[in-house]
Amino acid sequence: MPRLLAQQPPWLARSTPGHAFFQSPSTTPPPLAHRGTEIFLSAPNELRWTSTSHLQTGSSHRILKHSIPLPITHLSVSPSGDLLAICTAHTIHIAILPASTHLTSRDTSPLKLKTYQIGPTSHVLEQSPLASTLWHPLSPTGNCLVTVTRDACVRLWELDTTSRSTFSEPSLAVDLKKLANATSTHADFSASKYGVSTGFSPDEVEMLVASSCFGGRGDSNEGGWSGMTLWIAMSEGDVYALCPLLPKRWRATATLLPGLSTSVVAKMRAVSGEDDGVTGREKRVVEQQCAFLAEVDNQEPLLQQAGQDEYEMMEVYTRPSRPGAVPKLQGAFYMGEEIEGGEITDIFVIAAKMDEEEGVYDDDDEYYEDERDGEEGLSIGVVCLATSNGRVHICLDLEGVEAEWLPSKRSRSFTPDDDDEGGEKDLLLFETIDLSGGNAKEICPTFTPSPVGRYELFLTTPSGVWSLDFSPWTPNLEAELSSSSDAGIGFRLKMLLESSKTAVERIVTILDPGDGEARTAIAVLDDEGDTYTVLTSSSSGQPYASVLGFPVRASHAYAPDDENYAAIAGAALAFFQPSTLPQLLKQATEKKLLDPGGDKGKEVRFSPATLLVMTEAHRIMAAETHRLAEGTADLVRRLERMLAELREQVRKVQEVNHRVENVVDGHEEGDGTGGRRGIEARAQAAEERTKRLNERVEKLRGRMAGLGGRQLSAKEKAFAAEVEKVERTLGDAPTPEAPVDPGALVHMANSDGERVEHEEGRDGTLTGRFEAVRELRDELVRRVEDVVAKEVEGEGKGDGRGGVGVVGGGFRGRRLEAVWELLEREGALVEGMEGRLGRLGAGA
């Protein structure tokens, strides 16, 4: 429950700029909207701007000029803060808002706004009037607008200031009357076109839209389907839902897809069994949800910056094409009994919290919780309906609304499931609050969400603004819903329904209520963030405001828990309950049992009537004094216990302080190196050791720089690799039992033509190969010498034919010269190898 700090602050008094800001020549309450601490007001078609800081400092407001000729009935700022929806009875205009810094400049001259008209052929005077204008909570840009007209046509506009076509045609348009009677996705449920006459429909009266809202705010702590569910309330009392209603591009919270996947997979396993109780419709719904999530999972999400924080990113997905863009119309919801009297004027839905069994963990095992308001919440949804007779009906959505589509084709044969194709569901009427005060006039109340938490909202009536707080009964109800024991639950729920009531408080009182016109209220957060202001205005232009404070919550580790707070509140309640003794004396006076004008110092005349009054007074005094004595004793016990706990905490703090002093002053027992001197000595020793290590590192660095020399070249590296290879191949010299065959290593082209093959088991080491080369050379030298000797003998025995001898001698001479060159080259090769082996330490 908010804390009422002040009413009618001085900056709204007469003859102040704040009072002048709300003045309007119209006889209807001016519409209001806000962007943070900035306030927009239309009176009646003059658009004004100011801020709470301007109102408090006495600065004048600024006029925003536009070209809208009709009276403005509603204002709404987009979640992005870039656009302002300006609505008349039939038309919608979108104005591009300048930045806050530009509006708060010293220039107070009128500022011209650039505006676009939405739906030049859809939202015009010839068409149905507007019922609701909503911003989609899952739009990644925050500029997706949903319009609902009185004739039950829903249109979704994905606005882009760089594309004018997005203001002319909606990306999705549905006629709920056609959708309610459709049996498959092939039916025509498009919204009516301009200039096309429509026939009579029996649903025109029962499906006359009063208001609509989304089932969630797009937070990570609420159920996955809530943010994409559109609730529609009809004037006659019926309530419908569309889920999922998504733009072409939509954002997903961190818990949305994992939570939905977990629940849908569990339901798929349940309906896939052999349970005879599962209907064909239930199987079809689960299969459609699986197809929807499968297409989403197959997408690669687009990361987009979320808000002003450049490090906060959000995942953007494309709307799946299957099962379809148009969902099934679910409802009408049955509430057990019809709403008595009055038409529905507004609807407000509080989303169910995310199921704890579907808790989502990211890669760092971080659990996503509700960090916005710190509330536990309900595992079921809450639907609030306001009626024209000043009543608020609080209903519970026990089953929940999930995604559902029409079948792709109608079944040819009738089945029992066809009776359930209407999708009728239940809403449990929990409580009805009457704020009319016996006034029979039409008061048309409207809802305004509270910045404090989900389970608190404001209700605006012509006589004032009321605060509705559901926290007194939501924890107890959730405890019963989450309990695993069903024993006695009927009795406990009955007692809960009878005893638990919504906390209702009137925070704004309007002295000139007018004729019951619908009015709006806004809750503006102050710059400091610890208070907020609820603003509204009467039909005469009189501003009304109340400054509220946030509920007090424990902000440190030593604060008492909720149970202690409840116990203390129960004990202190006895001191604040009014005494019934004055009421008794008043009744006795009315019955003439006491003299109302008698002298108090006069003697009392004893009579049976006086005795009766005194006896009753004694009974009341005894009960009240006993209750006060018990409360006083309980408080004394709690104070004594708190005093004992405080003394214990002081003792522990002193003990810790004593130990710290011992460590600092060097008096720690059993530690010769403790104290300030020991710490300084250890720090100095560590510093000296660090210096010595640095010196050693520098010396080693210099020595390594001297030894390392320059970098090896590529040839030097290749030679080193070759040396390593030779070292690996070096072996012992061949043994006599395994002689080396020279012919296995070298084959002369001019030899006898004998080819010598390698023998099995020959030594393949470099030493063996060297010995074979040496034997080969000796063999060649011996052969050359034999040839030379034969040639010499042949020339001595010649027959005198010098021609032939000369020719033969010349040919042989050339052959001998070639052989000698070969021998010299082989000799040089052998000598080079001997020198190389000698350098390598492998002797010849």
Q: DSSP per residue over 610-648, as a string? A: HHHHHHHHHHHHHHHHHHHHHHHHHHHHHHHHHHHHHHH
Whether residues 537 and 481 share a domain: the answer is yes
pLDDT digits (tens, 9 = 90+) for 593-633: 666 555 555 566 677 777 778 888 888 888 888 888 888 88
Quick check: 67 pLDDT over 70? yes
What's the Cα-to-Cα distance from 745 to each of 263, 396, 639, 758, rounded to whole Å? 81, 102, 110, 8
Q: Quick one: pLDDT at residue 600?
A: 52
Mean pLDDT, residues 35-47 taken together: 89
Q: Where are the alpha helices (DSSP H) in 414-539?
A: 474-482, 489-499
Q: Which domain holds residue 642?
A: 574-596+605-659
Whether residues 831 and 752 share a domain: the answer is yes
Whether residues 549 and 583 share a domain: the answer is no
Q: Quick one: pLDDT at residue 795?
A: 58
Q: Quick one: pLDDT at residue 754?
A: 41
| Residue 786 within a domain | yes
Q: Quick one: pLDDT at residue 704?
A: 72
DSSP string, 127-166: SPPEEEEEE-TT-SSS-EEEEEETTSEEEEEE-BTTBGGG
- Residue 383 confidence class, pLDDT cut points 50, 70, 90: very high
Q: Which of 178, 180, 236 is nearest to 206 (CA)?
A: 236
Q: Quick one: pLDDT at residue 541?
A: 80
Hey, what are 193's tokens? 């076109």
Whether residues 468 and 529 share a domain: the answer is yes
Quick check: 740 pLDDT over 60? no
| Residue 790 within a domain | yes
Any idea which of 485-494, 537-546, 686-695, 742-751 has the lowest mean pLDDT? 742-751
Rounded to the nearest 10 degrees, the angle between the axes of helix 474-482 and helix 489-499 is 170
In the beta sheet, which residues pair with residue 347? 385
Whether residues 521 and 470 share a domain: the answer is yes
Whether residues 648 and 618 share a domain: the answer is yes
Quick check: 730 pLDDT over 80? no
Q: Quick one: pLDDT at residue 215?
A: 93
Q: Which residues of 137-174 are buried (b: 16+ CB within 10 A; e: fewer)?
A: bbbbbbbbbbbbbbbbbbbbbbbeeeeeebbeebebbb
Whether residues 510 and 609 share a domain: the answer is no
Whether residues 754 and 827 share a domain: the answer is yes
Q: How many structural domains is the chain composed of?
A: 3
Quick check: 346 pLDDT over 90? yes
What are the φ and ψ backbone dihedral angles of 465, each rounded to 5 degrees?
-120, 135
Q: Quick one: pLDDT at residue 519?
A: 74
| Residue 743 within a domain | yes
Mean pLDDT, residues 826-832 taken together: 78
Give the span between the Cα atoms of 760 and 729, in whole angstroms: 19
- Residue 562 confidence class, pLDDT cut points 50, 70, 90: very low
Whether residues 512 and 581 share a domain: the answer is no
| Residue 481 within a domain | yes
Quick check: 759 pLDDT over 60? no
Whether residues 510 and 589 share a domain: the answer is no
- Residue 755 confidence class, pLDDT cut points 50, 70, 90: very low
Residues in the chain: 844
For residue 225, the SS3 value is coil
| Residue 797 within a domain | yes
What's the Cα-to-Cα distance from 247 to each of 135, 266, 313, 314, rounded to whole Å? 11, 27, 19, 16
More confident call, 531 vs 545:
545
Q: Quick one: pLDDT at residue 748?
A: 41
- Measured in whole angstroms, the distance separating CA 157 from the mean position of its chain's CA atoms is 24
What's the Cα-to-Cα distance from 137 to each of 174, 216, 328, 334, rounded to whole Å? 19, 7, 20, 27
Quick check: 118 pLDDT over 80? yes
Mean pLDDT, residues 758-783 taken together: 69
Q: Quick one: pLDDT at residue 419?
A: 45
| Residue 355 within a domain | no
Average pLDDT, the chain: 78
Whether residues 620 and 546 share a domain: the answer is no
For residue 746, the SS3 value is coil
Give the span between the Cα atoms of 185 and 190, in whole angstroms: 11
Any idea which of 17-26, 79-88, 162-171, 569-578 has the lowest mean pLDDT? 569-578
Q: Which of 397, 378, 388 is nearest to 333 (CA)?
A: 397
Quick check: 559 pLDDT over 50? no
More confident call, 714 vs 40:
40
| Residue 714 within a domain | no
Quick check: 518 pLDDT over 50? yes
Whether residues 582 and 546 share a domain: the answer is no
Q: Quick one: pLDDT at residue 246?
A: 94
Q: Quick one: pLDDT at residue 174?
A: 93
| Residue 800 within a domain | yes
pLDDT digits (tens, 9 = 90+) for 291-333: 999 999 999 899 888 766 667 788 999 999 888 899 999 988 8
Angle at 654 between CA 650 and CA 660, to 5 degrees: 145
- Residue 368 confidence class, pLDDT cut points 50, 70, 90: very low
- Residue 2 confidence class, pLDDT cut points 50, 70, 90: confident
Largest alpha-carbon pair distance within the chain?
194
Q: Is the dihedral of CA 508, 512, 518, 522 positive or negative?
A: negative
